[in-house]
Amino acid sequence: MPTKAVTDASFEADVLKSDKPVLVDFWADWCGPCKMIGPSLEEISEELADKVTVAKMDIMANTEVPGQIGVKSIPLMVLFKDGKPVAQKLGAAPKSALKGWLEGEL
């Protein structure tokens, strides 16, 4: 399953009320490291589709949720389980490191 774009309007339904864990990647088009991890997150989304939904939120187009969560630097990945943030990872990393971190949190 490819990554899912979420917005301020869809965040509650897509993330907080999801039946399975959701990893939200907070990113922006001007962010070089965000663009670097994009392809890795797409692959991880496919590989772990049965365990987690990988979502992306553009912080320039959606300011409400990032403000509520306190996003100060990007890329910031936040894992939500049962509607609550349970883990986060800041900054770009190789796919193996991102996937290993995520699998350790699931």
Report the catalytic residues.
31, 34
CA distance 68 to 62: 11
Pairing of strands 53-58, 22-27: parallel
